[in-house]
Amino acid sequence: MKKVIAIGGSNSKKSINKTLATYAANQLKDSEIMVVDLNDFDLPIYGIDLENEKGIPEEAIRLDNLIDAADGLVISLAEHNGSYSVAFKNAFDWLSRINQKVWKNKPMLLMATSPGGRGGATVLQTAKTSFPHLGGNIVADFSMPSFHNNFSEGKIVNEEINTDLTEKIHLLQEAM
């Protein structure tokens, strides 16, 4: 069994990105999926002074260990004002202080979705540019626009989009 972590890049309890990441990860064969909810990691706002005073929080180390133990990563990023959500960026910043290779070269399916027509394309592009410098091994990326039109009752209802995602999931499967 492969170990796969699905991360929604948001602290919304009803995160559509967590939903999409979980949906995609669950399509992987012979894989044990662990869904990471950022709400379960109680992290203070990153600051160099806090780090110097108190060191790296245990919760950041716990998240780092989960990534370390994974064979593959499925990440779907929420877009807030064209960028990462604060919750995601904060966790990301803490992780980068443990190990600059945050994503540890684990094969990654990188996604974004939003209720709007651009599907988080801006944050996805940012991450595609940045993650490779931080140990990101992005084997496929995928943006799903208009989440609420295209995802219903636990699945993607737009056939073309689903076929596209299925191909991307295969790429991750082959890379793990």
Ligand X SMILES: Cc1cc2nc3c(=O)[nH]c(=O)nc-3n(C[C@H](O)[C@H](O)[C@H](O)COP(=O)(O)O)c2cc1C
Per-position b or e across 32-42, b if 16+ CB within 10 A of its CB:
ebebbbbeebe
Q: Tell me which residues touch ligand X (CB under 6 A).
A: 8, 10, 12, 15-17, 78-82, 114-116, 118, 120
Smallest gap, in angstroms, from Cβ of residue 49 to ligand X?
Answer: 26
Smallest gap, in angstroms, from Cβ of residue 118 to ligand X?
Answer: 5
Q: Closest by alpha carbon to 175, among 139, 128, 123?
A: 139
Residue whose CB is less far from ligand X, 78 or 109? 78
DSSP letter at 164 equals: H
Residue whose CB is less far from ligand X, 17 or 173? 17
Residue whose CB is less far from ligand X, 31 or 114? 114
Q: What is the DSSP string of 36-67?
A: EPGGGS--PPP-HHHHHHH-S-HHHHHHHHHH
Smallest gap, in angstroms, from Cβ of residue 115 to ligand X?
Answer: 6
